[in-house]
Amino acid sequence: MAKIKPSKGAPYARILGVGGYRPTRVVPNEVILETIDSSDEWIRSRSGIETRHWAGPDETVAAMSIEAAGKAIADSGIAAEQIGAVVVSTVSHFSQTPAVATEIADKLGTDKAAAFDISAGCAGFGYGLTLAKGLVVEGSAEYVLVIGVERLSDLTDLEDRATAFLFGDGAGAVVVGPSQEPAIGPTVWGSEGDKAGTIKQTVPWDHFAAGDVSRLPLDSAGNVKFPAITQEGQAVFRWAVFEMAKVAQQALDAAGISSDDLDVFIPHQANVRIIDSMVKTLKLPDHVTVARDIRTTGNTSAASIPLAMERLLATGEAKSGDTALVIGFGAGLVYAATVVTLP
């Protein structure tokens, strides 16, 4: 029996660079209030959101990804040709095949990098980061580009008072490469499919494609609505606050550190009340910088963690070498948490 030669990868992996892209159009709450019965004060108090970015016609999933990825590659100090794999997490690329990652890999100038998409909702960046770490350590790629990107404005029902104000568009990217010391901790991840109905698409694509109006939601003018994201707000809030705080603590334990050792906390930017509740439950010390990018970016699902990371580093609120706890959670319901050293 022949013996397979063992893979030769790096001893560890780390994030080497980060980049982000936010669409040029900034949308204040006043625009949202044109289609729902609410107020700016209510939206801010319930979510913390003041503005969000919505993509224009040319700011496609691929275009935003390429902008963010280009910055991440430049920040990492490597060339695009050195990227061995491109992992894109998104739920808003509407072409079933091919994967948008293949287009991105080509336009960035990689040397025929492996490229694929994943769908893990708001935990997508954590899933992608975990896969990238494995590829680097296993030896399948020396450098891996991980992108979280969404055009959630395409999946927003502007007449749904519970969600119309939540979502934004954008792309965040990181380059993961070899390290001589641990810089991405063990991932605590999982799914709770019994709660899948709490965050979902309003109608399946096949219903929409069939054109059977009797099976599709209508807007106030009687027109068929495009499929959108809907959620049971209170159920999601309770799950995120109580269950995800436990997962975050498990990630700290798995990394062998305590909250006192943390410099930065970067949770998925779902809701500022969820973020504040998690900070309280985890008993994070005052010295820990907490990402609250949601105030001006909204909920960008898979893009939210890398976008928040990029902004903290750009503003100086976080610095290279800081120890950060990141956690994503959302539709599925799925989650992923890990401790990383910031690039």
Q: Which residues are catalytic?
A: 122, 268, 299
Q: What distance in Å separates the CA atoms of residue 134 and residue 161, rounded to the nearest whole number?
A: 41
Q: Is the separation of the CB atoms in 9 and 334 below 8 Å?
A: no
The neighbour count for residue 25, using CB atoms within 10 Å, is 14
Q: What distance in Å separates the CA atoms of residue 298 and residue 304, rounded to the nearest whole number?
A: 8
Backbone angles phi, psi at 145, to 5 degrees: -95, 125
Cis omega (within 30 of 0) for bond into 131: no
Nearest to 19 by CA among 168, 147, 167: 147
Q: Which residue has the tokens 């107020």?
A: 39
Q: What distance in Å separates the CA atoms of residue 168 and residue 223, rounded to the nearest whole number?
A: 24
Length of the chain: 343
